[in-house]
Amino acid sequence: MPIYEYRCEHCGFQKEHLQKMNDAVLTVCPSCNNDRYVRQLSVAGFQLKGSGWYATDFKCPASSGKNEDAPATALPCGGSCACHSS
């Protein structure tokens, strides 16, 4: 479930709420009971960086190509990547 950040435009109260994506947007401030409680736009809490699992685990090396005649052990991926498996 995503965490949404809310802020009251009336009193400035700020809080994070764990909600389902299809839950209704909160509108009433839990601090002052004003109806100016709005959801804030925020950045995701994680980033995918580096070589990543795709590049290291599933992507075929460009140098190997689709050499069907070569033994599996001669291929850098050992013949287990998506382009060499049948």
Phi, psi of 85 (to 5 degrees): -85, 145
Report the pLDDT value the prediction gives residue 24, as an integer from 0 to 100.
95
Q: Number of folded domains in the chain? A: 2
The pTM is what? 0.50
In this structure, the answer to whether residues 57 and 31 fall within a common structural domain is: no
In this structure, is residue 15 part of a structural domain?
yes
CA distances from 71 to 50, 58, 81 (A): 31, 19, 14
43-79 pLDDT, tens digit per residue, is: 766 666 666 565 555 555 555 455 555 555 566 666 6
CA distances from 84 to 20, 25, 40, 52, 68 (A): 41, 48, 47, 21, 7
Whether residues 35 and 58 share a domain: the answer is no
Alpha-carbon span 3 to 1, nearest angstrom: 7
**56 and 86 assigned to the same domain:** yes
Domain that holds residue 23: 3-39
The CB density around residue 25, as the number of other CB atoms within 10 Å, is 11
